[in-house]
Amino acid sequence: MAIMECGHIAVFAFPFGTHAAPLFNLVQRLAMASPNTIFSFFSTRQSNKSIFSDQKHEMIKPFDVEDGLPENYVFKGNPQEPVELFIRATPHNFKRSLQVAVDERKREISCIISDAFLWFCQEIAAEMCVPWIPLWTGGPFSLTSHIYTDIIRETFADKRPEDCEKEPLEFISGMSQISAKDLPEGILFGNLETEFPLLLHSMARTLPKATAVAINSFEEIEETIAKDLKTKFNKFLNVGPLTLTSSTDEPASDDNGCLSWLSNQKPASVAYISFGSIITPPPKEVVALAEALEKSGFPFLWSVRGNTKDFLPEGFLERTADKGKVVPWAPQKGVLAHKSVGVFVTHCGWNSICESIVGGVPMICRPFFGDQKLNTKVLEDVWGIGLGVKDCVIAEDNMISVLERIILQEEGKKMREKLRNFKGLAETAVGPNGSSTENFKTLVEIVTATK
Ligand SMILES: O=c1ccn([C@@H]2O[C@H](COP(=O)(O)OP(=O)(O)O[C@H]3O[C@H](CO)[C@@H](O)[C@H](O)[C@H]3O)[C@@H](O)[C@H]2O)c(=O)[nH]1
């Protein structure tokens, strides 16, 4: 295989949630592994601003793509709306910026790496006769659910939703403990003809044409699924968990003093709470959670954004000041690696799960959308390292009970033992000659090879 002197890799990001960050993380590693290659990173202005905020990257240059929002757009509270407007602007917004990058950097594109959601990259790459490598930023269970969308729909075609909900997905490798009701919405349930389910369906049909599909996970975490997906894709490359392979090992800033506060707490005693970068739980659940924390008396660190603070019970912050800390943002990776954290109350985003596994922290799961319900099921019933809140809604008594089960009881101890094993497997996978390290080498070969 000839090695291109100077490749130019186009990287197309999905600019919502925590999608662009793991993609950027992977690209940074690739840039270090292939010094002659230049990278053009395409995302919306807002997304690029946060990704490229404090770092300079000689070989990785950001290019803004239009976000699809009408001029003077006012956000009215529906989080799906900007996503749908963005999807409608694709692929033309990416194509326009791609041309700008080629003209400016004076190098033709040699490879496209993208978020897996951006399935149209397959056509762009095919037109240019270059490889396309999509990255799935979620876990193996959600990826396999999407890949089997057509088969799942055919299997349940003649059944009413209430009749198929509890049916185990035994016909899919590695999914026998999962039922139809655990699937991400848009596969079997929900309005399948709206923007996002249509995008996911197109993605599922297009990924098998990719040169290789990469995933932010490691083979050993779910070997049956990894083996099966290898038969579906030209190449299936588990290159994670990317939280362990970050090439910039500078610790995240801790402006709110979370880590020093944790250092004054007892080992495995603190409940850390965060619902990721997008979600604000309903006011009723914020109140229930606050009351559960106050009554149970466990020390807590709560990362809260938006107007959630407005919903906290009157006087809560003052009454709990010696027990708890409420911050607008926490250096989560460092928090979950801290020995004082005993449990993580989470929405079950995949990045949070990976960070919790690597930190060895059991989870209490309150899922909201997308892959989160499925992730909850996996953490609770397949891997045994988490507990879901009853009926997927936070209620005071139930929250106290799950906090106690994990922090105080034998159940939590067993989860921590299992997590030690997962953590070991993850570290081995990204270590010398580990499966993720070897897969990463394959990825480097693909992106640096000529046509
Ligand atoms: O105070 C905070 C809160 C969050 N984070 C970071 O924010 C990220 C959150 O990522 P994730 O847990 O994946 O949540 P979302 O941002 O909600 O991610 C979206 O993307 C994920 C990957 O595809 C999906 O699994 C989720 O369902 C989807 O909502 C993590 O890296 C956290 O470390 C912090 O550093 N500090």
Show me where the domains of the chain are located. Answer: 2-240+430-450, 258-427
Q: How far is CA 203 from CA 16, 118, 123, 181, 298, in A?
A: 17, 7, 12, 21, 44
Q: Is 350 close to ligand 1, i.e. is its CB under 6 Å away?
A: yes
**Inter-helix orientation angle 195-206/140-147, to 10°:** 90
Q: What is the pLDDT of residue 253?
A: 86
CA of 19 to the centre of ligand 1 (A): 8
Is pLDDT larger for residue 386 or for residue 192? Answer: 386
CA dist 347 to 200, 273, 339, Å? 21, 9, 22
306 vs 55: CA distance, rounded Å: 26
Distance 242 CA to ligand 1 centre (A): 13
Is residue 184 reached through a cis peptide bond, with omega within 30 degrees of 0 on the bond before it? Answer: no
pLDDT greater than 70 at residue 5: no
List the one residue out of 37, 44, 219 whose CA is nearest residue 115.
Answer: 44
- Token couple for 438: 């070897």
Comparing 310 with 420, which gets the higher pLDDT? 420
CB atoms within 10 A of CB 109: 18
Distance of CA 412 to the CA centre of its chain: 24
Regarding the beta carbon of 256 and ligand 1, being less than 6 Å apart is answered no
Annotated active-site positions, please?
19, 115
Q: Separation of 37 CA from ligand 1 center, angstroms?
A: 29
How many angstroms does the Cα of residue 376 sit away from the middle of ligand 1? 15
Measured between alpha carbons, how far is 419 from 288 in angstroms, rounded to an integer? 28
Residue 102 has pLDDT above 90, yes or no: yes
Q: What are 195-248's pLDDT values in tens digits?
A: 899 999 999 999 999 999 999 999 999 999 999 999 999 999 999 999 999 766
What's this model's pTM, rounded to 2 decimal places?
Answer: 0.96
Does pLDDT of 78 surpass 90? no
Classify domain 2-240+430-450 by CATH architecture.
3-Layer(aba) Sandwich (3.40)
C-alpha–C-alpha distance, residues 367 and 388, integer Å: 8
Any ligand 1 atom below 6 A from CB of 220: no
Out of 308, 352, 356, 371, mutate this one to test ligand 1's pocket (max ligand atoms within 8 Å of CB): namely: 352
- Ligand 1 contact via 371 beta carbon (within 6 Å): yes
The partner residues of 237 in beta bridges, in order of sequence, read: 214
Whether 11 contacts 228, CB under 8 Å:
no
Inter-axis angle of helices 396-407 and 410-430, to 10 degrees? 70
The H or E element containing residue 225 is helix 223-232
Question: What percentage of the chain exceeds 90 in pLDDT?
Answer: 84
Establish whether the linkage from the previous residue to 22 is cis, with ω within 30° of 0: no
54, 135, 351: residue to mutate for ligand 1 pocket, most atoms within 8 A of CB: 351
Record the tokens describing residue 326, joined without a space: 């409420």
Cα separation, 266 vs 45, in Å, equals 43
Cβ neighbourhood burial of 449 (10 Å; 0-12, 13-18, 19+): middle
pLDDT band at 147 (very low <50, low <70, confident <90, very high): very high
Average pLDDT, the chain: 93
Ligand 1 centroid vs 102 CA: distance in angstroms? 32
- Residue 56 pLDDT level (bands cut at 50, 70, 90): low
CATH topology assigned to domain 258-427: Rossmann fold (3.40.50)
Q: Which of 152-156, 247-251, 302-306 bottoms out in mean pLDDT, i.e. has the lowest?
A: 247-251
- Alpha carbons within 13 angstroms on the beta-carbon side of residue 40 total 26
Burial of 71 (0-12, 13-18, 19+ CB in 10 A): exposed
Task: Evaluate if residue 317 carries a pLDDT over 70.
Answer: yes
Q: What is the pLDDT of residues 386-420, one digit of tens each?
A: 999 999 999 999 999 999 999 999 999 999 999 99
Residue 86 has pLDDT above 80, yes or no: yes
Q: Measured in angstroms, how far is the CA atom of residue 356 from the centroid of ligand 1?
A: 12
**Quick one: pLDDT band at residue 263, thresholds 50, 70, 90?**
very high
Nearest atom of ligand 1 to the alpha carbon of 303: 1
Atom 31 of ligand 1: nearest residue by CA position: 351
Q: Of 116-130, 134-148, 188-202, which gets the smallest average pLDDT?
A: 188-202
From the CB of 241, is ligand 1 less than 6 Å away? no
Write down how long the chain is: 451
Specify whether the CB–CB gap between 307 and 281 falls below 8 A. no
Helical (H) or strand (E) element with 215: strand 213-215
Say yes or no to pLDDT of 451 above 60.
Answer: no
Q: Which residue has the higher pLDDT, 138 or 167?
A: 138
Is the C-beta atom of 7 inside 6 A of ligand 1? no
- With a 6 Å cutoff on the Cβ, whether 243 touches ligand 1 is no
Residue 2 has pLDDT above 60, yes or no: no
